[in-house]
Amino acid sequence: MGTNEMSYLGLTEEQEQIYRLCLREPGIGLDGLIDQLRLPPNTARRELRRLRELGLLRSGGTSHARGAVGDDGLAAADPDVAVARLLDLRLHELHEKLQRVTQLQPLVASLRAERGEHRAPAVVGIEQVTDLPKIRDRIDDLAFFAREEVAMVEPGTAMRQEEIEQARPRVLRCLRRGLSVRTVLVRKVLDHQPTVAYLRELESHGARVRLIGHTAAKIQMYDRRTAVVPVHPEDNSRGALFAQESGLVSNILALFESIWAESDELASLLGERRAEEEGPSELERQVLKAMCSGGKDEAGARDLGVSVRTYRRYIADLMQLLGAGNRPQAALLARERGWI
């Protein structure tokens, strides 16, 4: 038996052996697994059932050894997909356990009351953090422990690629857990296509994005209980304030809600801009060129610095705009219009 490297992701040693074998020998069947790994048939069937439930294995391909798994052999999920899926499941389990732990304070108060003790809850105030890595770690923790809502206002006119890469996994994880995510940015971001592509990706996962003409506010709010604001509105290097004092948080929340009420939906503004334009944006032209090159979507998305999902959504939007029923027709119509 080898080492169980995937144990921290929740796999047993037998499950990991089966998954690795299916990676090495696509299409292998149940009999082949039992023979090579010397597993009892009932154990092999049980572990296969669990791997299918996790989405790590599916039936498909040409079987090297026919068995009770079906006429087709077994195909293993791509390692990147498999590890990401297992990691999300483990984080979700951990989050649920930590939620139960954070709800123990009322129990402590109840037990103290049995002895006649009645303590006022501790007053949580404001903390200033100046170290940027610590600020990022604190924000990651707040997003991880959030249970209901994340609300943000960003006054910048564009997001750097580094900022997008830092924010994307944190926000998408919140959305996958079912949290409400609301974000407000300034309308000037419409001129920065990478930022627009990122915002549309968030919307496709359930986030609500709005734009406002101008704001100097920079706000992050977690579960309406913790607010994060910069120490200085124009100098992020001075650090951030983490506030949990109820009166201050209520005022910051009221400011966010007023900004939200005055802002417009991203989708409607993009529609208005499209109506004013005669042709595609520069990024859309690049998408068309990549599509017409005949390369894979993954390569086109990588070259443009967007996700595959965002890249394919751009193609779908362009096909609709062109009135094309398929990609070859879209390429022909785009050339006729002089877009590429």
Tell me the pLDDT band of 191, cut-offs 50, 70 and 90: confident
- Any domain includes 114: no
The per-residue pLDDT for range 154-178, each reduced to its tens digit, is 988 888 888 899 899 999 999 999 9
Work out the average pLDDT over 134-141.
91
Would you say residue 296 has pLDDT above 90? no
- Any domain includes 21: yes
pLDDT number for residue 118: 63
Here the CATH number for the domain that contains residue 25 is 1.10.10.10
- Any domain includes 196: yes
Residue carrying structure tokens 């966010």 = 256
Here the CATH number for the domain that contains residue 198 is 3.30.870.10
- Any domain includes 97: no
pLDDT number for residue 311: 87
pTM: 0.50
- Any domain includes 104: no
Would you say residue 140 has pLDDT above 60? yes
The per-residue pLDDT for range 20-76, each reduced to its tens digit, is 999 999 889 888 899 999 989 999 999 999 999 998 998 864 444 333 334 358 889
Task: Please indicate whether residue 247 or residue 243 has the higher confidence score (pLDDT).
Answer: 243
Where does a domain end: 208, 231, 265? 265
Is 45 found in the same domain as 22? yes
Is 317 found in the same domain as 228? no
Is 157 found in the same domain as 48? no
Is 294 found in the same domain as 207? no
Tell me the pLDDT band of 185, cut-offs 50, 70 and 90: very high
Count of domains for the chain: 3
Is 135 found in the same domain as 75? no
Is 285 found in the same domain as 243? no
Where does a domain end: 236, 265, 294? 265
Is 250 found in the same domain as 137? yes
Is 210 found in the same domain as 184? yes
Is 289 found in the same domain as 258? no
Secondary structure, 3-state, the chain: CCCCCCHHHCCCHHHHHHHHHHHHCCCCCHHHHHHHHCCCHHHHHHHHHHHHHCCCEEECCCCCCCECCECCCEEECCHHHHHHHHHHHHHHHHHHHHHHHHCCHHHHHHHHHCCCCCCCCCCCCEEEECCHHHHHHHHHHHHHHCCCEEEEEECCCCCCHHHHHHHHHHHHHHHHCCCEEEEEEEHHHHHCHHHHHHHHHHHHCCCEEEEECCCCCCEEEECCCEEEEEEECCEEEEEEEEECCHHHHHHHHHHHHHHHHHCEEHHHHHHHHHHHCCCCCHHHHHHHHHHHCCCCHHHHHHHHCCCHHHHHHHHHHHHHHHCCCCHHHHHHHHHHCCCC
Is 317 found in the same domain as 199? no
Q: Give the residues across from 241 on adjacent strands.
A: 128, 229
Tell me the pLDDT band of 282, cut-offs 50, 70 and 90: confident
Where does a domain end: 217, 241, 265? 265
pLDDT number for residue 251: 85
Domain that holds residue 208: 126-265
**Average pLDDT over all residues of the chain:** 82
- Any domain includes 222: yes
- Any domain includes 98: no
Is 282 found in the same domain as 261? no
- Any domain includes 36: yes
Is 149 found in the same domain as 49? no
